[in-house]
Chains A and B, each alone.
Chain A
Amino acid sequence: MKKLAHWLVRLYPRWWQARYAQEFEVLLEDTDVTLCDVIGIVQSALEVRMKPTNLPRIVDMACRDIPHGYELESCVELPGANGGSTLVQSFYREIDLGDTYVTLSHSSRGGEPAQTILINGRKGEVDGDFRTDETEMLILHIDGTIERTEQTVKTWLKYRAIVDRVRDKYRSGQSAEDIFRQIRAASDNPLWS
């Protein structure tokens, strides 16, 4: 079963394998896999590979460097599943202190009251394109309540490269629309799909 599970996982694109392979293989080991399941997995892998890119559009953006980090203000139009779209306005600050980092995100989705999220992260081990971090997240809700969670999260390192590339382009004076067009042209990554 392990061999079959391993073979079936390899039908999916690499970004998908990096994110889901381990848990998917466990599920296959737990399940009495039928011929129908195998056909379903082949179909699912094809769908993941062939899914048209559904990119968010950067409407407006401003970025500035600060000591040990940067701040980013943005307005992004997210395509919805039903053909509509949602505007997300956000302010994001990230400070990298070496082994640890702090992020602050203040964002409003679809004109709803803004939510503030603070994350304290400790960088962990790197495995391929991912790093496993220990994080503490505080969500400051509009009603004054605070939700606190501790999580082990997988950070996709290529995302960092994309953010850095966007910041470089912004520094060189390119418009949000130009940057978006270039990312879209160069993009075969799952971040935008």
Chain B
Amino acid sequence: MSDPTLLVLASLADGDKHGYAMMEDIERFAGVRLGPGTLYGAITRLEQQGWIRPLKSAEDRRQPYTLSADGRRHLEEQLSELNQIVRTGLKRLRHA
């Protein structure tokens, strides 16, 4: 799974985060280092889709984001599809 938008949604699934926290979290759980350009390209697209939204920030300059209800639904759908692919692939490998 290396689609940056999906990685950002997965990162926000367990709580609100600002950009740097997302980068660290994604590197930890997916082993992928998203560069700042890739990260903010994904954030821009996700916010335009209405899948994430900015939160009021206690710390003025860092902007935290949260997952919207639509974003959570989209993530669930995408992960369910991926899960189906993984299960099918593993099953076929076992029988090959």
**B-contacting residues of A (Cβ < 8 Å)?**
16, 20, 22-24, 26-28, 30-31, 33-34, 36-37, 40-45, 47-48, 81, 109, 150-153, 190, 193
Given A20-B44, A150-B56, A193-B48: A27 in contact with B20 (beta carbons within 8 A): yes
Dominant SS among interface residues on chain B? helix
Please list the residues of chain B having a beta carbon within 8 angstroms of any beta carbon in chain A: 18-20, 23, 35-41, 43-44, 48-49, 54-57, 61-63, 70
Contact pick for A37, options B19, B20, B35, CB 8 Å: B35
Q: Check B41 against A44 for contact (C-beta < 8 Å).
A: yes
| B61→A45 contact, CB < 8 A | no
Chain B residues whose C-beta falls within 8 Å of the C-beta of A151 in the assembled complex: 55-56
Question: With A and B bound together, what is the CA distance between A37 and B40 in angstroms?
Answer: 12
A41 touches B36 (CB 8 A): yes
Question: B62 touches which one: A23, A28, A47, A152 (CB < 8 A)?
Answer: A23
Bound CA–CA A45/B35 (angstroms): 13
Partner of A23, one of B41, B49, B61, B70: B61
Report if A40-B37 is in contact (Cβ < 8 Å); known contacts: A16-B44, A23-B63. Answer: yes
